[in-house]
Amino acid sequence: MKTIYENTINSIGPLATTFLEEKMIILFGDGAPQELAEFCYGIEIVDVEDSIKPGQKLLINNESFEITSVGEIVERNLTSIGHITIRFDGSTNPELPGTLYIEDKEMPVFEIGTKLKIVSK
């Protein structure tokens, strides 16, 4: 497997769990504006090594989730500001440009130290 992207949650805003009922989480890189950071899971800003595409896998602490669609600015946002939404709804049509859509299954628990990795075959 080829690693496309890899990161670790390093902070959790006090309101980050607000969107769990809607089956989504928001990631934001170090330096997020305070009013946004409160709603986000914090990560470092790191490069994306290759294109992110449907059919690849998002590993969350080694639990595998299939990527079903990718908003048009996901890669750019990850590399520049570390900011995307991950939506666990299985959508195959990327409605929002900064959202990574993954298969609709039970969401894992996100904690400081949770590992995120996107891989392709």
User: What is the reported pTM?
Assistant: 0.96
Q: Could you read off the pLDDT of 31-56 as tens digits, one per residue?
A: 889 889 999 999 999 999 999 999 99
Residues 6+ apart with CB under 8 A from 86: 24, 25, 26, 27, 58, 99, 100, 102
Residue 80: the pLDDT is 96
Task: Give Dmax (Cα) for the chain.
Answer: 38
Contact between 73 and 97 under an 8 Å Cβ cutoff? The reply is yes
Instruction: Indicate the number of domains in the chain.
Output: 1
Contact between 105 and 88 under an 8 Å Cβ cutoff? The reply is yes
Structural domain range at position 18: 2-120
Residues in the chain with pLDDT values less than 70: none
Separation of alpha carbons 79 and 86, rounded Å: 15
CATH code at position 64: 2.40.33.40
Residue 61: the pLDDT is 98
